[in-house]
Amino acid sequence: MHFQFALIHVIILLAMIMANTIDKNRRPGGKSENQKLKSLLVEKVLLHETDEEHALSSTDIIAHLGLYNIDAERHAVARDINALIDLLDAEAAKNFSGDEGASLGYEIEYDASLRGYKVINRPVDINDLVLLADCIHSARFITKSQEDALIDALSHLCSKYQAERLRENNIVAINRLKTKNKSMMQIISTVNDAIEADCKITMQYLRYTLKDKERPEPRKEPYKLSPFKLIMNDGFYYLLAYSDEKKRIMTFRLDRMSNVRLTVETREGEKEFREIGMSGFTKRVFNMFRGESVHVGIRFIASKLDTVIDRFGTGPDTIYTPVDAHHFILRTDVEISDAFFSWISGFKGGAVLIEPESVVEKYKEFLKINAKRHGLTLVD
């Protein structure tokens, strides 16, 4: 982004912030101290009250200005709007910067059919804002109050009518219970600071108990960790970090962390982190349960191909081999864990783990243990 373009954009945003606070200067009578901010208020009114479907006449704008004890005439309002059009029009912005690719992204025009002025273009399209709002509504790692605050922040980028679409939340997210950890944003910031500063953190990890299912309890001894990556999985944030205690890379859910503190100690575990291979990490790990990475072979029925590709992708290290018209074999790297075995068993007869033999034996033992817990006996 070019300096001139960025500067003007910042000035506009600052003007909007000023306009949001000037109501403190209202007076019950007489000439308002806000009179000198008339042009900024005209801008605020247009950005907040108009869009492609809604317009304001000069009379409407004058009425809005009157709420701030600002006197205005139609010709003065027209001059302010024309000045805004010169500044915010996309073509004018290109001429100002001298770069055909630069644009402020705002456009204001007079709509004869609606008999008023309206904002027809903005830096962020309403459909993009709706997409961002859907992501916020479905995120599990933020609280409901943080969700509302973020939606309110997005609503400042569109008209009040479009903002209603952002609040509608038409997304139905299955099993999307919100976290109750109100410190999530601060935790994310602290972890990012530690990664940037190449230092360790200390934290306490929260676990639920039957005694109090509403408030998880911290582990007595705090963890000392060398943080390396934040990972998003199934709506939750996870921290990938080297544990001083376990001497290995581990994963921790951020909303289960508390009392996160920076230390002056330099991070450890760089070698172990590099050996993980982040490019395929989320493909190998099931539900963030880590284990030994092994190259496996699994035979699936052909109808499961879409599901398998959605899970493992089609990278060079993931090989799909047709067996016959009804079956194929997947060969890829997987971190062996009970979560992986549960995923396989969920296909019932649609998936068979075939190699290596050592993993097949572990899978059989997993099935035997689960069958025994249900009063069943498996025969090899």
For the domain spanning 284-373, the CATH number is 3.30.70
Q: Are residues 93 and 104 in contact, defined by beta-carbon separation less than 8 angstroms? A: yes
Average pLDDT over residues 171-199: 78
* Domain boundaries of the chain, sorted by first residue: 3-121, 126-168, 184-276, 284-373
Tokens for 380?
């090899």
- Check residue 339 and give its pLDDT: 84
- Check residue 323 and give its pLDDT: 92
Among the ranges given (51-55, 234-238, 321-325), the one the predictor scored with the smallest mean pLDDT: 234-238
- Check residue 19 and give its pLDDT: 45
d(CA 143, CA 179): 5
Average pLDDT over residues 213-226: 76
User: Across all residues in the chain, what is the average pLDDT?
Assistant: 80
Q: Where does the pLDDT of residue 296 fall: very low under 50, low under 70, confident under 90, or very high at 90 and above?
A: very high
- Check residue 68 and give its pLDDT: 83
Name which residue leads in pLDDT, 136 or 9: 136
Name which residue leads in pLDDT, 1 or 255: 255
Name which residue leads in pLDDT, 248 or 32: 248
Name which residue leads in pLDDT, 6 or 224: 224
Highest mean pLDDT: which range of 5-19, 249-263, 278-292: 249-263
- Check residue 7 and give its pLDDT: 39
- Check residue 2 and give its pLDDT: 40
Q: Where does the pLDDT of residue 216 fall: very low under 50, low under 70, confident under 90, or very high at 90 and above?
A: low
* pTM: predicted TM-score of the whole model, two decimal places: 0.55
